Amino acid sequence: MPTVGRGVRLVAPAAFLALCGVLILAMVERQTGRPGFLVGLGLAVLPVPLVLGSLAWLDRVEPAPLRSLLFCFGWGACAATLVAIWANSWTAGLLASHQSPRGETIGSAVVAPLVEESCKGAAVLLLFLVRRRYVGSVIDGIVLAGFVACGFAFTENVLYLGRSYTEDQAVGNGMGGTVYTFVLRGVMSPFAHPLFTALIGIGFGVAAVGRGRLLRVAAPVGGWLAAVVLHGTWNAAASLGTGGFLLVYGVFMVPAFGGLIGLSVWSRSDELKVVGRQLPVYVWAGWLGPAEPAALSAMRLRGRARRRARALYGPAGGRAVAEYIALATALALLRRRAERGSTPVAEFTVRERELLHRLWERRPVAAVVLAEVAAAAPCSYGRS
């Protein structure tokens, strides 16, 4: 029976997202036509590796499970876009009939950000409620929200680029409009949607590690509001002409993106410092070796340990050490959340026991390699 339950938990979300994918595929192709859809698809996929690669780099300290990342990307690409297109189309028609020329601007600057950030943020909220340990830090929130937003932007780009191509062909404009749309969306702003939705992820990350019930409620709400406002500002810039758009781009978007990068890098470094601070208690208890907290809190030594394990024990040894590193990191972050009161004592006890058991299974390989690399290159905690 537990196996059946696990199977249902895996299959049901996949089936739901697949259904949404079929519907959104048909909807986009109907709006762009087959040639436009294929051109839009080919161009929309180009920025995806850059965005996902950047998020994966941020997530190296405590990598999220692949299934959660796939769920987030699929939610953004299929479910969120499906609901957003339906809702935006309905409200656009309603506003156009009542507000005439102002309706399009209101829909773009107010309604679309509300709808789209709510649809994207719903995935992070769902994981926060159902799989709380997947959203255990600010970095977790940024990465998961970023994957959702990347999926959303991908499908949206297929639609916009496909439409541009179809319009170009209809007026005999070659691909001028298509190139312009790609430069705007794929070159100048591939991180726009991830930036907006990352603010929601930050809110949930703060809620995961913060102290006090008020903060745990206010942080996600504040993140959602910030995402809506920044998204609305970005959309409104399109109605200001080229000069106004570039002003908004330089004054709001570039600094906001720079701030997100700074916060992300700081949070990543902070997670490594948490590993160095929290793991010594397990050294004293006999679960870890004396040199392991130092080795596990430095990205350089982590990578060296994985390579050394592969050289000594083959691919299986490399996997064992990689899993050991991930488990030890999860243990350190779990202990920090418990100290701050954001993880109940009963939940902490069960999860700690589970992580220690899984660590111990991989210890025969990992302990030797980590001790070796730590002795060869002493380092301070938290160095990346």
Whether 381 has a pLDDT exceeding 50, the answer reads no
Residue 289 neighbours by CB under 8 Å, 6+ apart: 283, 367, 370, 371
Q: How many CA atoms lie within 13 A of 92 on its CB side?
A: 13
| CA-based end-to-end distance of the chain | 44
Q: What is the per-residue pLDDT across 285-322, written as a single tens digit (0 to 9) for each?
A: 999 999 999 999 999 999 999 999 999 999 999 999 99
Q: What integer pLDDT is reported at residue 2 of this predicted model?
A: 47
What was the pLDDT predicted at 98? 64
Q: Looking at 126-130, 142-146, 356-360, 373-377, which range is the least confident one?
A: 373-377
What are the tens digits of pLDDT across the range 103-116? 667 778 889 999 99
Closest CA to 80 of 232, 184, 197, 237: 197
Are the C-beta atoms of 295 and 302 separated by less than 8 Å?
Answer: yes
For residues 239-252, average pLDDT: 87
Instruction: Give the mean model confidence (pLDDT) for residues 254-279.
Output: 94
Q: Which of 259, 260, 275 is nearest to 384 (CA)?
A: 275
- Please count the residues of the chain: 384
Res. 89 pLDDT band, cuts 50 70 90: confident
Helix or strand or coil: residue 313?
helix
**In this model, does residue 384 exceed pLDDT 70?**
no
Dihedrals phi, psi of 60, to nearest 5 degrees: -70, -25
DSSP string, 218-285: HHHHHHHHHHHHHHHHHHHHGGGHHHHHHHHIIIIIHHHHHHHHHHHHHHHHHHHHHHHHHTHHHHHT
pLDDT of 184 > 60? The answer is yes
Q: What angle do CA 146, 147, 151 make, to 5 degrees?
A: 115
Residue whose C-alpha is closest to residue 191's, from 238, 236, 246, 150: 150
Condensed to tens digits (0 to 9), the pLDDT of residues 323-364 reads 999 999 999 999 999 998 888 899 999 999 999 999 999 999
Work out the number of other CB atoms within 10 angstroms of the CB of residue 24.
23
CB atoms within 10 A of CB 151: 29
Cβ neighbors of 210 (< 8 A, separation 6 or more) are: 216, 219, 340, 342
Contact between 216 and 210 under an 8 Å Cβ cutoff? The reply is yes
Residue 376 has pLDDT above 90, yes or no: no
The pLDDT value given to residue 18: 95
The answer to whether the CB of 165 falls within 8 A of the CB of 35 is: yes
User: 103-106 long-range CB contacts below 8 Å, 24 or more apart?
Assistant: 105/236, 105/239
Q: What is the pLDDT of residue 146?
A: 98
Average pLDDT over residues 51-74: 94
